[in-house]
């Protein structure tokens, strides 16, 4: 089982601030996906990155895949209260059934 | 929009009882997964299923667990003799393959008492 560590585990910031969440592993992944999970619901995909060094932007969210495809970051600009939630990274492995292995999660709270 | 559906949304069972959690993956998807999430903890991989057989399973997926795709549309997770520590949210997911998006169901909250 590949291990993905996310940091920080908990993050509480004021509305309008910027933040970065990190996802690190010693394993190489074929893809890295970021999900957001609301309480009592399943994870919902935000983005998939597949190329080392790739950067993707989704409105105020910027995702980067590390050059060695072992790590990733999620940067949120001018956080809003609607960004509050659990953010999960998940590494994809292109063997067998292409399993996804989830990170430890970052619980973000944006305070108005 | 196609979605993964799971039933029931909440199941309460007595310790030692068998439970079957049901999932209907997206119809043209080829890979199926079960994950669990104990309250406040990370999402943990249980098992993956492809081409009508288990592709990989984690150390959590012991002899008490089994999966089945009985009719080409349903994908079930059976726990033969539930333990208190099996209490968790169980998520089913499916994907078309490769690096494509995994779609998750809303989950089944299993409570073992």
User: Which residue carries 């659990």 as its tokens?
Assistant: A86
Q: How far apart are the first and last CA of chain B?
A: 37
Predicted local distance difference test score (pLDDT) of residue A96: 66
SS3 A77: coil
Judge whether B25 is closer than 8 Å to chain A, CB to CB: no
Residue B89: half-sphere exposure toward Cβ, Cα within 13 Å: 20
The whole-number average pLDDT for the span A68-87 is 96
| Measured CA distances, A92 to A2, A32, B25 (Å) | 10, 6, 19
Q: CB count, 10 Å around CB of A58?
A: 11
| Closest CA of chain B from A19, distance in Å | 21
Q: Return the minimum-mean-pLDDT range out of A41-45, A60-64, B22-26.
A: A41-45
Average pLDDT, chain A: 92
What pLDDT, on a 0 to 100 scale, did the predictor assign at position A97? 67
Per-residue confidence (pLDDT) for residue A99, from 0 to 100: 81
Do the strands B88-95 and B31-37 form a parallel or antiparallel pair, or are they unpaired? antiparallel
Return the number of other C-beta atoms located less than 10 Å from residue B96's C-beta: 15
Q: pLDDT tens across B57-106, in order?
A: 999 999 999 999 988 889 999 999 999 999 999 999 998 876 678 899 99
Residues B30, B82 contacting (CB under 8 angstroms): no
Coil, strand, or helix at residue B33? strand
Can you give the pLDDT at residue B101? 82
Q: What was the pLDDT predicted at A54?
A: 95
Q: Which residue, among A62, A82, A75, has the nearest Cα to A15 in the 3D structure?
A: A82
Q: Is residue A1's pLDDT more than 60?
A: no
Contact A42 B109 (CB under 8 A): no
Asked if residue A110 lies in contact with residue A84, where contact means CB atoms within 8 angstroms, the answer is: yes
In chain A, which residues touch B (CB < 8 A)? 1, 30-31, 33, 35, 37, 40-45, 48, 50, 88, 90, 92, 94, 96-105
Choose the closest CB to A43 out of B43, B95, B98: B43
Q: Give me the pLDDT at residue A49, please.
A: 92
Does A102 sit within 8 Å of B91, measured CB to CB? Answer: no
pLDDT of residue A39: 83
Instruction: Give the pLDDT score at A109.
Output: 96
Q: Residue B30's closest CA among A102, A97, A99, A50?
A: A97
Question: How confident is the model over A3-31, as a mean pLDDT?
Answer: 94
Predicted pLDDT of residue B97: 79
Nearest alpha-carbon partner for B6 in B19, B24, B29, B18: B24
Q: What is the pLDDT of residue B25?
A: 96
CB pair distance less than 8 Å for A45 and B101: yes
* Alpha-carbon gap, residue B97 to B102, rounded angstroms: 9
Residues for chain A: how many in total? 112
Give me the pLDDT at residue B2, please: 81
Q: How many residues does chain B have?
A: 113
E-strand stretches of A2-112: 5-7, 10-14, 19-24, 31-37, 44-49, 55-58, 61-65, 71-76, 85-92, 100-102, 106-111
Whether residues B97 and A100 touch (CB distance < 8 A) is answered with: no
* Residues B113, B43: Cα–Cα separation, whole Å: 22
């Amino acid at each position: 089982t590949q291990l993905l560590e996310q940091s920080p585990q908990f993050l509480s910031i004021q509305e309008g601030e910027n933040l970065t969440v990190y996802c690190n592993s010693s394993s190489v992944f074929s893809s890295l996906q970021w999900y957001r999970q609301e309480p009592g619901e399943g994870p919902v995909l935000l983005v998939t990155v597949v190329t080392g060094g790739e950067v993707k932007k989704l409105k105020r969210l910027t995702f980067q895949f590390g050059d060695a495809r072992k790590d990733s970051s999620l940067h949120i600009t001018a956080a809003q209260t609607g960004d509050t939630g659990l953010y999960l990274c998940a590494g994809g492995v292109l063997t067998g059934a292409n399993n996804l292995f989830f990170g430890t999660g970052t619980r973000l709270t944006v305070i108005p | 929009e196609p979605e993964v559906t799971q039933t029931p949304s909440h199941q309460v069972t007595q310790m030692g009882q068998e439970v079957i959690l049901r999932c209907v993956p997206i119809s043209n998807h080829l890979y199926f997964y079960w994950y669990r999430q104990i309250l406040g903890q990370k999402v943990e991989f249980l098992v993956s299923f492809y081409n009508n057989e288990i592709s990989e399973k984690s150390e959590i997926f012991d002899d008490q667990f089994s999966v089945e795709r009985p009719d080409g549309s349903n994908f079930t997770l059976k726990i033969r003799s539930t333990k208190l520590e099996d209490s968790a949210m169980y998520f089913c997911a499916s994907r078309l393959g490769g690096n494509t998006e995994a779609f998750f169901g809303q989950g089944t909250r299993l409570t073992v008492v």
